[in-house]
Amino acid sequence: MIKGLGLPEPVYLVADAYYGNGKIINGMLRAGNHLVSRARKNVVAYEQPLAPADGKRGRGRPRLYGSKVELASLFAERAAFTAIASPVYGDENVVMRVRTVELMWKPAGRLVRFVLAEHPRRGRIMLMSSDLTLEPAEIIRLYGLRFKIEFGFKQAAHVVGSFDYHFWMADMTPTRRGQKNTYLHRTTQEYREAVRRKLHAFHVYLFAGVVAQGLMHYLAACHSDAVWRANNAWLRTIRKGIAPSELVVKLALRQALPEFLLGGHETGSLAKFIVDHQAPDAADDWAKAA
């Protein structure tokens, strides 16, 4: 998927612990990229094997791995940690303790940089990076950014409704209970084209949700006062100087929609389109439009 993006420069893939495996790491390195991910709590790595004391190589294949190390046990060695200013976004005057170790990661068959971090409020976390030159603070900062992305997905799912698509294909062959795969290459060309149209409808709906969410971000950042004035919903705390969330923007747009339609349907093309397809005297239709 990353290769398909056609990016001209090397990139860092920031992912959760599921992607911290040899297939992803080696594939990223072959393409000139790197992986930054969280390590599982029970992760085990290995030290590099020690060279023979006499300098002579023994019989057989050289050892690839030395002593086994349980990463979680390294938190007990308090003296090995150093204090740094927290690079996590939103942290001010926060000091966290960090330890960096480079160990052999058996799934990838290579050295990996592990970062053990202890935050005074967020607790402990173990991160890993395939880039051995990346500073620990930068690894923590990069991984912290993915929570913004996760929160954006949450808002898209629960506020915008970007994943609420339900497009049914009447001609689709029913599947039996327990059937896992549908072999499209055994179907007709017309059937495959119909499946492609269905997938295209999914993508268009999702992309429309992304555009809508981006417009909500724009309104929240550039027209905060207007959004707060249009929102009549009750909120427990409104902090001045803080941009409203997607939910507040959604409620404000819903509150302002009737006035927008009634006042701009003669001049605005969007308002005219909605009014022409809705009955102004039907409350249910106005709710659907909102």
Summarize pLDDT for 123-139 with one digit per residue, the tens.
999 999 999 999 999 99
Checking if the pLDDT of 285 tops 60, the result is no
Output the pLDDT for position 290: 54
Output the pLDDT for position 143: 92
Spatial separation of the C-alpha atoms in residues 21 and 142, rounded to whole Å: 19
* Residue 265 banded pLDDT, cuts 50, 70, 90: low
The winner for highest mean pLDDT among 140-149, 234-243, 277-286 is 140-149
Output the pLDDT for position 92: 86
**From residue 214, how far is each of 65, 151, 207, 220 by CA, in Å?**
49, 14, 11, 10
Output the pLDDT for position 280: 56
Output the pLDDT for position 284: 56
**Cβ pair 103, 114 in contact under 8 A:** yes
Mean pLDDT of 154-159: 91
| Domain ranges, ordered by start, for the chain | 3-47+64-149, 184-289
Output the pLDDT for position 140: 94
In single-letter form, the type of residue at position 27 comes to G
Nearest to 195 by CA among 203, 180, 184, 211: 184
**Cβ pair 68, 99 in contact under 8 A:** no
**Cβ pair 160, 212 in contact under 8 A:** yes
Summarize pLDDT for 47-66 with one digit per residue, the tens.
888 776 666 666 667 778 88
Assign 147 to helix, strand or coil: helix
Percent of the chain with pLDDT over 70: 90
Q: Phi, psi at residue 116, to the nearest 5°?
A: -100, 120
Output the pLDDT for position 119: 92
Distance of CA 232 to the CA centre of its chain: 32
For residue 88, what are the contacts with CB-CB under 8 A and spacing of at least 6?
94, 119, 122, 140, 141, 144
User: Helices 189-222 & 246-264, crossing angle to 10 degrees?
Assistant: 90
Checking if the pLDDT of 9 tops 80, the result is yes
Secondary element (H or E) of residue 146: helix 136-155
Of the two residues 269 and 27, the one the predictor is more confident about is 27
* Residue 82 banded pLDDT, cuts 50, 70, 90: very high
Spatial separation of the C-alpha atoms in residues 290 and 284, rounded to whole Å: 10
- Joined tokens for residue 124: 């402990």
* Residue 168 banded pLDDT, cuts 50, 70, 90: confident
What mean pLDDT is reported for the chain? 85
**Cβ pair 71, 126 in contact under 8 A:** yes
Assign 137 to helix, strand or coil: helix
Beta strands in 57-94 (DSSP E): 68-70, 82-85
**Cβ pair 258, 230 in contact under 8 A:** no
Nearest to 104 by CA among 62, 61, 64, 60: 64
Summarize pLDDT for 193-252 with one digit per residue, the tens.
988 999 899 999 999 999 999 999 999 999 988 888 888 777 777 777 778 888 899 988
